Amino acid sequence: MLNSKIINWYEFNKRDLPWRNTTNPYNIWISEIMLQQTQVVTVIDYYHRFINSFPTIKDLALASEQDVLNHWQGLGYYSRARNLHQAAKFIVDNYNGVFPNSFDNILKLKGIGVYTASAIAAFAFGLSKAAVDGNVYRVLSRLFGVYELTNSPKGKKTFQLLADELMANAEPHIYNQAIIEFGALQCTAKKPMCEDCPLQAQCFAYLNKEQNSLPTKKKKIKLTNRYFYYLYIFSEEHFLLQQRGDGDIWRKMFEFPLIEANNRIELVDLIHTETWRSLFVDVKIEVKDQLATKVHKLSHQNLHIEFISVKVDRDSMNKFSSFICIDKEKAINFPLPKPIESYLARA
Ligand code: SF4
């Protein structure tokens, strides 16, 4: 059985951590909240100080918020401490200071999500709940070759089912500790120690050399801001267009002459840019108006678009040889990005 291999590994390799030697749900709760986003070695001292100062739920509930925050100083994410404090008061008010022993009631406490509720339910009360944290996602995805995104709702469901199946009849408090520790020490994110791993023979990632591809996670898209200054250069019913290239957004579509910048530029500065000057060599112009549109959002870009309407005389239109001069009525024949189309509808 795979789970007994993981449990055997745990018995030989586990670290002696203070919150492992207790089934007190309060102590386990404090340790789990501290361990979110913080390394084990850092947490140990904080944990001892916190438990010494607030040995019970009642002590925590009666403490001042400032005192609780002082004990958290250096751990960061102060909302975690505030939530702990509020949940302690809730337990005192609603459960007479006794930590709830059902998964559903634990999950209702402020600041406790599915993983933490499962961990407390299993470690403190022996409830049959598989706790799935980042370590467990990693082990399961590599072991069984699961490529589903660990941060998608579908992926979460799949991994929870797998974790429940793998736990099977094992003792929940031992199994959960074991697989979490296995992920933290053996099947690590970088350079997992496959050569002396007891699961090697059954491990999909090892057998297929896929350790570095698993687990998969949806990457956060980095949004870029771009600043577009479109020049609506017109004379009577004619205006200028140009075709976009094919290496960027709106491939091959048509747009007004464009000055793009990395940040916002005032018109007084824009007219001194090289692009503006080179556009209007020997051309008499009259800047009519300037219109800023709402930010145009694309999947990974925010376009801050402004239109500047520039009137020139009819003869000067011939001087813009690198642009197409079209009749306004013919604009419909050109594929135009939405913001240009909307602007023309109003112009
Ligand atoms: S063989 Fe490597 S990738 Fe597979 S479970 Fe073991 S440590 Fe993780």
Q: Report residue 218's pLDDT band, with 50, 70 and 90 as the boundaries.
A: confident
- Cβ–ligand 1 distance for 144 under 6 Å, the answer no
Average pLDDT over residues 316-331: 91
- Cβ–ligand 1 distance for 135 under 6 Å, the answer no
What is the Å distance from ligand 1's center to 199 Cα? 6
pLDDT at site 73: 85
pLDDT > 90? residue 118: yes
DSSP structure class, residue 99: P
Sign of CA dihedral 193, 134, 86, 98: negative
Contact 40, 79 (CB under 8 A): no
Q: Strand 238-243 relative to strand 324-327: parallel, antiparallel, unpaired?
A: antiparallel
- Residues β-bridged to residue 234: 239, 311
What superfamily would CATH give domain 2-213? Hypothetical protein; domain 2 (1.10.340.30)
Residues 6 or more apart whose CB falls under 8 angstroms from that of 264 comprise 227, 304
pLDDT at site 70: 86
Instruction: Give the residue, out of 166, 186, 196, with the most ligand 1 atoms within 8 A of its beta carbon, to mutate for a pocket test.
Output: 186
pLDDT at site 299: 75
Q: Which atom of ligand 1 is nearest to the CA of 214?
A: 3
Find the range with the poorest average confidence among 51-60, 109-118, 170-179, 240-249: 240-249
In this predicted model, what pLDDT tens digit does every residue of 67-82 receive, in sequence order? 998 899 888 788 899 9
Characterize 29-61 residue by residue with b for buried, 16 or more Cβ atoms within 10 angstroms of its Cβ, and e for exposed.
bbbbbbbeebeeeebeebbeebbeebebbbebb
What is the Å distance from ligand 1's center to 178 Cα? 14
What is the Å distance from ligand 1's center to 119 Cα? 23
Residue of 347 and 295 predicted with greater confidence: 295
Instruction: Give the residue, out of 197, 209, 213, with the most ligand 1 atoms within 8 A of its beta carbon, to mutate for a pocket test.
Output: 197
Every domain of the chain and the residues it spans:
2-213, 224-346
- The beta strand positions in 155-237, using DSSP E, are 224-235
Prediction pTM value: 0.67
Domain 224-346 is in which class? alpha beta
Contact 130, 166 (CB under 8 A): yes
Average pLDDT over residues 89-101: 98
- Cβ–ligand 1 distance for 125 under 6 Å, the answer no
pLDDT at site 254: 93
- Cβ–ligand 1 distance for 166 under 6 Å, the answer no
- Residue 258's SS3 state is strand
Question: Which residues belong to the active site?
Answer: 32
Q: Which atom of ligand 1 is nearest to the CA of 138?
A: 8
In this predicted model, what pLDDT tens digit does every residue of 263-302 receive, in sequence order? 999 999 999 999 999 999 889 999 988 888 789 988 789 9
Average pLDDT over residues 144-153: 93
The mean predicted confidence, pLDDT, of the chain is: 93
pLDDT at site 149: 93
Contact 61, 97 (CB under 8 A): yes
Average pLDDT over residues 170-186: 96
- Cβ–ligand 1 distance for 199 under 6 Å, the answer yes
- Cβ–ligand 1 distance for 208 under 6 Å, the answer no
Instruction: Give the residue, out of 186, 199, 212, with the most ligand 1 atoms within 8 A of its beta carbon, to mutate for a pocket test.
Output: 199
- Cβ–ligand 1 distance for 205 under 6 Å, the answer yes
pLDDT > 80? residue 22: yes
Average pLDDT over residues 240-268: 92
Q: Report residue 8's pLDDT band, with 50, 70 and 90 as the boundaries.
A: very high
Residue of 5 and 251 predicted with greater confidence: 5
pLDDT at site 210: 96
pLDDT > 80? residue 221: no
pLDDT > 80? residue 220: no
Residue of 65 and 299 predicted with greater confidence: 65
DSSP structure class, residue 215: S
- Cβ–ligand 1 distance for 185 under 6 Å, the answer no
pLDDT > 80? residue 200: yes
Q: Report residue 34's pLDDT band, with 50, 70 and 90 as the boundaries.
A: very high
Residues across the chain: 347
State the Cα–Cα distance between residues 13 and 303, nearest whole angstrom. 53
Contact 144, 217 (CB under 8 A): no
Percent of the chain with pLDDT over 90: 80
